[in-house]
Amino acid sequence: MTQDNLQEVSTTNQVPFNQKIAFGIGMLANQMFPAALGIFMVILVQGLGMSPVLWALIFFIPKLIDAVTDPLMG
């Protein structure tokens, strides 16, 4: 293979910038809920007097379920 062929191969395997942007926008929606949940939980605990133990359980129980079910799902 010559230097020109190597250069051609490396440039044709790159993902176009517009596809990267489209993928990023799709992932933005996927990450909005966990971020919003964290912000609202701070408001509930500090502003409305919610028990910190209950706050911890709300975040711990789904993680515990994932720890059990994820290995089972493969």
Residue 51 pLDDT > 60: yes
pTM across the whole model:
0.44
Instruction: Return the higher-pLDDT residue of 61 and 38.
Output: 61
Quickly list H helices, the chain: 3-12, 17-47, 52-73
Q: What is the pLDDT of residue 23?
A: 85
pLDDT tens, residue by residue, 1-37 = 566 555 555 556 789 999 989 888 888 877 888 788 7
Confidence band (pLDDT; 50, 70, 90) for 43? confident
**Residue 51 three-state SS:** coil
